[in-house]
């Protein structure tokens, strides 16, 4: 309990909120690094995931590659890239954490498209939609909640793991952990950890809101009950209700 009191005392100290090493600066660096990493991962993973989900090809390969990337030790990869490139900037951790963020984003992309009801896709094709129109107007809108869910998972991993990148001389909230450890300033270390947790919680809440907002208008995930003839047994199944066009 005393450690937490000391940590909040460190957070409340105005001296820690000013200067190039202050909390606002480190927080801004951490957010910038995380957004850049997530953007690179999305640029790489989303097109591949959409192609796999739309065509149904190479799904096994994608799952295998994702699993292999997840197994990579992040800290070891950061140090290894720094050694082989002799680069002590944000480049090695940026590459390492982009690799870390690819699997959840990739999984969200192809799982989202695969979750779309095949009958809906067949109906779209039957009215003359091209493959691109089916993807942009049917598959992608219905898949967006899962796609955002994959980005959400990758983003939280990136925010949490960017702290270890401070083993190199880069910015971010991880600086408080490593700099505090060097001088045995445990309130600074715990205060930095609290900041990372709060940032992750705020980011998760934002992603959760976005995930709910991207559900297409007129699409309602509900449940209906069917009563079979000659039997009192009732079964439930998930349905998608869509708005009907007004008749004239």
Residues whose CB falls within 8 Å of the CB of residue 16, separated by 6 or more in sequence, listed in order: 10, 22, 23, 191
Distance CA 143, CA 223 (A): 19
Distance CA 38, CA 176 (A): 23
Task: Average the pLDDT over 153-157 and give the result.
Answer: 92
Could you tell me if 169 and 179 are in contact, meaning their C-beta atoms sit under 8 angstroms apart?
no
Spell out a b/e string for 171-199, using b for 16 or more CB atoms within 10 Å of the CB, else e. bbbbbbbbebeeeebebbbbbbbbbbeeb
**pLDDT of the residue at 134:** 84
Confidence of residue 219 (pLDDT cuts 50, 70, 90): low
Residue 130 confidence (pLDDT) above 60: yes
**pLDDT of the residue at 200:** 95
pTM for the whole structure: 0.80
Residue with tokens 């896709």: 121
Which of 198-202, 204-208, 234-238 shows the lowest mean pLDDT across its residues?
234-238
Q: What are phi and psi of 225, to 5 degrees?
A: -110, 135
Task: Average the pLDDT over 226-232 and give the result.
Answer: 43
**pLDDT of the residue at 128:** 82
Residue 248 confidence (pLDDT) above 50: no
pLDDT digits (tens, 9 = 90+) for 82-126: 888 777 788 888 998 999 899 999 999 988 888 888 888 888 888
**pLDDT of the residue at 84:** 86
* More confidently predicted of 71 and 109: 109
**pLDDT of the residue at 243:** 43
Helix pair 23-55, 140-161: axis angle to 10 deg: 140
Continuous H helices in the chain = 2-12, 23-55, 59-70, 74-85, 91-114, 118-126, 131-134, 140-161, 174-182, 186-213
Could you tell me if 153 and 104 are in contact, meaning their C-beta atoms sit under 8 angstroms apart?
yes
Confidence of residue 234 (pLDDT cuts 50, 70, 90): very low
Domain spans of the chain? 2-218
Task: Average the pLDDT over 167-181 and give the result.
Answer: 90
Helix pair 59-70, 23-55: axis angle to 10 deg: 160
* More confidently predicted of 129 and 247: 129
**pLDDT of the residue at 139:** 86
Alpha-carbon separation of residue 151 from 37, 46, 161, 179 (angstroms): 11, 9, 15, 31
The second-level CATH assignment, the architecture, of 2-218 is: Orthogonal Bundle (1.10)
DSSP 243: P
Alpha-carbon separation of residue 228 from 48, 64, 239 (angstroms): 43, 43, 17
């Amino acid at each position: 309990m005393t450690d937490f009191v000391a940590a909040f005392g460190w957070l409340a100290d105005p001296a820690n909120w000013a200067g190039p090493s202050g909390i606002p600066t480190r927080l801004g660096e951490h957010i910038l690094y995380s957004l850049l990493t997530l953007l690179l991962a999305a640029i790489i993973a989303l097109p591949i995931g959409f192609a796999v989900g739309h065509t149904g090809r190479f799904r096994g390969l994608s799952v295998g590659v994702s699993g292999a990337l997840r197994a990579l030790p992040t800290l070891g990869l950061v140090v290894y890239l720094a050694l082989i490139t002799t680069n002590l900037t944000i480049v090695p951790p940026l590459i390492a954490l982009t690799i870390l963020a690819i699997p959840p984003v990739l999984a969200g992309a192809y799982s989202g498209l695969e979750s779309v009801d095949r009958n809906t896709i067949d109906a779209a094709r039957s009215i003359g939609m091209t493959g691109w129109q089916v993807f942009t107007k049917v598959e992608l809108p219905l898949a967006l909640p899962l796609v955002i869910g994959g980005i959400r998972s990758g983003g939280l991993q990136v925010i949490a793991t960017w702290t270890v990148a401070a083993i190199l001389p880069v910015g971010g909230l991880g600086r408080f952990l490593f700099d505090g450890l060097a001088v045995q300033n445990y309130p600074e270390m715990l205060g930095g950890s609290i900041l990372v947790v709060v940032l992750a919680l705020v980011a998760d809440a934002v992603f959760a809101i976005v995930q709910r907002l991207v559900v297409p208008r007129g699409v309602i995930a509900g449940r209906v009950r069917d009563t079979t003839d000659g039997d009192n047994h009732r079964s439930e199944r998930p349905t998608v209700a869509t708005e009907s066009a007004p008749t004239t």
